[in-house]
């Protein structure tokens, strides 16, 4: 991986290789941080949806994709083969931790290309200490893959642009440079990877258009070719937009929370965001187009997602924007690396300060309830007696309770079969709740949400003659609620 340091319109200088140890060290460090959280927090509903999809046959996944989560099909296909080696929490989350390591490695190389090796190393260090990285690096969904894919796409674009701009000035030392066409093919492949990891990750691509200029005309056809998978998945997602009907409409005020979302914590997010804005200015002074591109990588996705929410369907969810975290780290690092005499101590101070500010959040995401749905906690609330039954407020919760269930569990009286429905993550259930509970004196209800939730299964249990004895709710929203209902004496 090489970098060319030159003004946009000047003949290129001989490329300076990025030391092999630098991306390797960044990858190992970021991977280790992410891996440290993989076995602490219990799997939540989204991760259990991954498990549910991955366990199905190829035909079963295709059937599911025609009704829900079609845009996740590439990730589900990958996980389908991955889970053949096991389904332990650590194993399910390991791919995300590996993706974080890949993102950190390419962040070093990209930082080296657009500014300096020092900037790349600082960027990788800042990236590793973000609580959002610890969260999504230990999360069995595709968000870490998306962050890695976006970082690779910017690196591939810089590499392709460097070769294109060098073409009129080729010298002997460039005789082994990658052919012009091959670099654009690599860029197209990286764009395709972005679309296959998460549909809304493509919101970074408009920022890359800032780099379009005379000798980089190959960018548009390469981007168009790479965009094909995202276009197909987007059409599938549009047809399944009912699946995200739970997302509320957001107003512009939600953008004020963006720094917290990108970093995973309020204080460190605000500080790094302010430094990153300075980084945009620094980078723009070196190369206006790259300043706009990397600045757009950070700033455009939340704005564009809000536009999509208002023009198409409500879709503004924080986790869809994790792809901006590498840009936040890179721009902040560029601002720090620009300090001529104090770059090293400033880098150490900023990194350690960010880690200190983020430390409580790092602890939070590593707690048992760090993903806000602690199924073992819910099971632990149930003090069972012979003949106890269980009813689920959302039938999809069975995947988690089956995964963590001890040998003794209440009788699942509504369940019909062992497999989830072909078109969803829920399970077929009996509709006659009263008949299913006939002869039972105690029933445990479990649902996702607060104690005050008004769900049909809860109403039907009450209609069957049961009264609430006690309810417990986990510490965070949405969390899980466990309630015991009994028949009056």
The helix or strand, by DSSP H or E, that contains position 392, with its residue range, turns out to be strand 389-392
- List, in order, residues 6 or more apart from 309 with CB less than 8 Å away: 247, 249, 250, 315, 316
pLDDT given for residue 173 in this prediction = 31
Describe the strand order of the beta sheet including 442-448 as a list of residue ranges: 411-412, 389-392, 442-448, 480-486, 467-473
pLDDT given for residue 258 in this prediction = 96
The pLDDT tens digits along the chain (489 residues) read 444 444 444 444 444 567 889 999 999 999 999 999 887 889 999 999 999 999 999 999 999 999 999 999 999 999 999 999 999 999 999 999 999 999 999 999 999 999 999 999 999 999 999 999 999 999 999 999 999 999 999 999 999 988 766 654 443 333 344 457 889 999 999 999 999 999 999 999 999 999 987 666 789 999 999 999 999 999 999 999 988 888 999 999 999 999 999 999 999 999 999 999 999 999 999 999 999 999 999 999 999 999 999 999 999 999 999 999 999 999 999 999 998 777 788 888 999 999 999 999 999 999 988 988 999 999 999 999 999 999 999 999 999 999 999 999 999 999 999 999 999 999 999 999 999 999 999 999 999 999 999 999 999 999 999 999 999 998 777 899 999 999 997
For 373, phi then psi, to 5°, come to: -145, 85
CA–CA distance, 309 with 312 (Å, rounded to integer): 6
Domain boundaries, the chain: 2-365, 375-486
How far is residue 482 from each of residues 163, 187, 289, 411, 471, measured CA to CA in Å? Answer: 60, 50, 54, 15, 6
Q: Which residues of 84-106 are buried (b: 16+ CB within 10 A; e: fewer)?
A: eeeeebeebbbbbbbbbbbbbbb
pLDDT given for residue 386 in this prediction = 95
pLDDT given for residue 165 in this prediction = 67
pLDDT given for residue 39 in this prediction = 77
pLDDT given for residue 227 in this prediction = 96
Other C-beta atoms within 10 Å of 72: how many?
A: 25
CA–CA distance, 393 with 82 (Å, rounded to integer): 30
pLDDT given for residue 212 in this prediction = 86
């Amino acid at each position: 991986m090489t970098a060319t340091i030159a003004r946009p319109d000047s003949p290129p200088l001989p490329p300076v290789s990025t030391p092999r140890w630098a991306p390797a060290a960044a990858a190992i460090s970021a991977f280790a941080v992410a891996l440290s959280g993989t076995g602490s927090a219990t799997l939540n509903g989204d991760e259990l949806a991954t498990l549910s999809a991955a366990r199905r046959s190829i035909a079963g996944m295709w059937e599911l994709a025609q009704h829900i989560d079609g845009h996740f099909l590439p990730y589900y296909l990958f996980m389908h083969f991955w889970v053949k080696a096991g389904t332990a929490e650590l194993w399910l989350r390991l791919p995300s931790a590996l993706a974080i390591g890949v993102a950190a490695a390419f962040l070093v190389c990209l930082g080296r290309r657009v500014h300096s090796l020092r900037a790349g190393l600082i960027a990788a260090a800042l990236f590793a200490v973000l609580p959002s990285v610890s969260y999504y690096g230990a999360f069995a969904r595709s968000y870490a893959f998306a962050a890695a894919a976006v970082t690779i796409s910017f690196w591939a674009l810089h590499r392709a642009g460097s070769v294109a701009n060098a073409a009129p000035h080729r010298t002997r030392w460039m005789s082994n440079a990658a052919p012009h066409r091959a670099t654009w093919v690599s860029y197209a492949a990286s764009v395709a990877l972005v679309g296959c990891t998460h549909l809304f990750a493509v919101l970074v691509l408009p920022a890359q258009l800032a780099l379009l200029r005379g000798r980089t005309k190959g960018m548009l056809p390469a981007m168009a070719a790479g965009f094909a998978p995202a276009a197909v998945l987007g059409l599938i997602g549009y047809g399944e937009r009912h699946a995200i009907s739970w997302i509320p409409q957001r107003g512009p005020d939600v953008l004020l929370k963006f720094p917290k979302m990108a970093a995973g914590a309020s204080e460190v997010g605000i500080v790094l965001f302010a430094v990153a804005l300075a980084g945009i200015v620094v980078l723009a002074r070196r190369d206006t187009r790259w300043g706009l591109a990397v600045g757009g990588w950070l700033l455009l996705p939340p704005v564009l997602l809000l536009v999509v929410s208002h023009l198409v369907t409500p879709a503004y969810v924080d986790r869809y924007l994790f792809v901006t975290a590498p840009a936040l780290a890179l721009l902040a690092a560029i601002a720090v690396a620009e300090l001529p005499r104090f770059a090293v101590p400033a880098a150490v101070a900023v990194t350690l300060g960010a880690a200190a500010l983020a430390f409580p959040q790092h602890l939070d995401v590593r707690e048992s309830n760090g993903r806000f749905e602690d199924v073992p906690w819910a099971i632990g609330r149930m003090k069972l007696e012979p003949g106890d039954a269980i009813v689920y407020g959302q039938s999809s919760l069975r995947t988690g309770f089956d995964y963590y269930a001890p040998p003794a569990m209440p009788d699942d009286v509504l369940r019909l079969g062992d497999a989830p429905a072909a078109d969803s993550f829920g399970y077929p259930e009996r509709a006659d709740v009263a008949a299913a509970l006939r002869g039972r004196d105690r029933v445990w209800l479990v649902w996702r949400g607060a104690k005050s939730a008004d769900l049909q299964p809860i109403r039907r249990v009450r209609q069957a003659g049961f009264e609430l004895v006690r309810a417990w709710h986990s510490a965070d929203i949405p969390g899980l609620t466990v309630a015991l209902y009994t028949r009056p004496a």
